[in-house]
Every structure is written in C-alpha cells, then in structure tokens.
Amino acid sequence: MDKLDAMQTFVRVAQAGSFTAVAEQMQVARSVVTRQIAALETQLAVKLMTRSTRSLTLTAAGAAYLEKCRVILNLVDAAESSLVEEKAVPRGRIRLALPLSFGLQRLMPHLLTFAQTHAHIELLLNFSDQRANLIEQGMDLAIRITADLQPGDIVRKLGQCRLLTTASPAYLALHGEVRHPSQLQHHECLVYSMTNNTSVWPYLVDGQVQTFAVRGRLTANNGAALMQANAQGMGIALQPDFLTEPFLQRKEVVEILRDFESPALGIYAVLPSNRYIPHRVAVLMDYLAGVLAEPDAAKAVPTTATPPH
C-alpha cells in the first residue's frame, strides 16, 4: 500500500462523507476505495471512521489523523511543485464548475483556446447555476458571478460585469416609460430565481444602494431564457451585460433606468481550500484573469465578509 495515496484517499472520503462520491471522482470502483481505507486502518491498528448505511463519521482518532494528513499532503505538494514548477509544462486534470450562460457565451471560446494551447491539460467542465460544493464534488476551481461571497470563500477576482435593466420597445409603447425604480412594482418584471431575494432589485440612488419591490408572472433560473421573454415584450429584465449585449445590438431591447445603476457583480475564481494551488490551476486562473481584463485581479485570499461591489 502506498501510504501517501492512502492518506489522500482518506482525506477525500472524510471531506466528501461518502465512499461512492470519492470513487466517482477517482473513476474507480467503490470497492477500491473501501479496501484502501480498510488497509490503512489495519496498518495503523486504529479505526478511523464508523460506517452506517447512510453516513460516515470520523472517530476521535480519525479526526486527529485527518488534520495531520492535510498538513503532510500540503507539504508534499509544495515540496514537489517548488522543484519542478518553474520549468514544468502544465499537465493534469482540472475539474471546473461554470455558471451556465456566462460559461457558454463568454468563457467557452477562451477555454477552447486554453485547451488548444495546453495540450497536456484535461478539462472537465460542469455547467450549472447551482452553487457548487467544491470539496464534495471534487472540483478544483469554480467560476462564480456574485455580489454575495460567503465568509471563508477562497477567491481571486477575475473581473466584473454590469447589471442592466432592459425592456422591449413594444413593451414600453404599451405600458409606458419607467423613469424611477420605484415604478417597477407597477410593471411586469422577469424574475431570476437564483438570487437570495427574488422580490426586490437593487439600484444606486443618490450614491446609496436601495432595493425596490418587483413582481411578475414569469420566473426562471436562467437569464438567457428571461432575455428571450424580455425581447418579446413580456416584461422588464435586470440581467448581466454579457446576456443583454446581443439583444441591445439587435435593437430588440433598450436599456432603461440609465440614471440608476445596479451594483456590479464580481466575477471570481473560487478555490476549494487555502491549501497549495496546483500549477495547472494557477495557470488557468492567470489565463482567465487576462482574458477577462481585470487589471487589479488579486491573489487568492480567504474572505471574511462580502467585499464591496
């Protein structure tokens, strides 16, 4: 039994709380994972975790061993990478979680270029607007567009996007101009369901962020779908610039409430932990920071509160 491999498997199982999930991440049979943990317990002569039909629980010895394993594995990663990183060709697999619309429309062309340039890197892309649990899902990196970072998130800011309020000329002709966010409550609004509060939209009024009530008959968890309804005159939308831009260029919609901006959304690379960042992941983050043209993109740091936006 390779001790380091067994320690890595143990850490994965402890984090995921599931033999099956780890087996899927490693693309091996579940029995391979269970045998490796059993062999580790036999060698250590101690029970590391208790199993039931529904859950895995670390024993006291297992919890203590987990922390020591993390320290050792981080040191091994750092030691190996420091020797070869400067001259190394980036290689290996990157599991990347991407928001659906932004990933397809804005990032996919750049990711294809990255894949063509880095022939030794394998990309596994997961497109979803659901907030991924990076550790449980075995992700190396996630791209997140948000104004609501969670305390403890390990992030690097890659850029930002503007939120624009739009309506079709036909809708405005039928229902009248909207000159102030307070008037939105009297209009049909196309509501994005993946936000923390779907009943209000934020705007800057006299330099302060205020929220205004909205209502509507159509709610969806995908902004591209809402923009189609927006273009067909079914209501007013508040969506990121990467979604509104093609509709504005085709003059299918127009921007309204231009005197009342919504706070910009940050585009972040989110890491599963503050452990050593693999070289291949760092190369991808540098590349994305460059193509998204954020001049002050910072190094990955843990957040303690939602940053200003």
Q: Is the pLDDT of residue 309 over 50?
A: no
| CA dihedral of 27, 98, 271, 303, whole degrees rounded to 10 | -150
The amino acid at 69 = C
Q: What is the pTM of this model?
A: 0.67
Query: Two tokens at 171?
Result: 């809708």
Residues 14 and 62: beta-carbon distance below 8 Å: yes
Residue 30: which of 7, 12, 49, 4 has the closest Cα? 12
Q: Is the pLDDT of residue 66 over 50?
A: yes
> Band of the pLDDT at 277, cuts 50, 70, 90?
confident
Residues 202 and 309: beta-carbon distance below 8 Å: no
Instruction: Give me the pLDDT at residue 194, please.
Output: 85
Q: Identify the sign of the CA torsion 63, 64, 65, 67.
A: positive
The amino acid at 78 = A
Residue 134: which of 94, 88, 177 has the closest Cα? 94
- The H or E element that residue 237 is part of is strand 236-240
Each residue's pLDDT tens digit, 295-304: 443 344 444 3
> Band of the pLDDT at 152, cuts 50, 70, 90?
confident
Q: Is the pLDDT of residue 107 over 80?
A: yes
Domains of the chain: 3-76 (1.10.10.10), 92-161+265-302 (3.40.190.10), 165-256 (3.40.190.10)
Q: Identify the sign of the CA torsion 164, 165, 171, 172.
A: negative
Q: Identify the sign of the CA torsion 242, 298, 82, 302.
A: negative
Each residue's pLDDT tens digit, 12-52: 999 888 888 899 888 889 899 999 999 999 999 999 998 87
Instruction: Give me the pLDDT at residue 149, please.
Output: 77
**Cα angle, residue 141 at apex, residues 138 and 145 outer, rounded to 5°:** 125
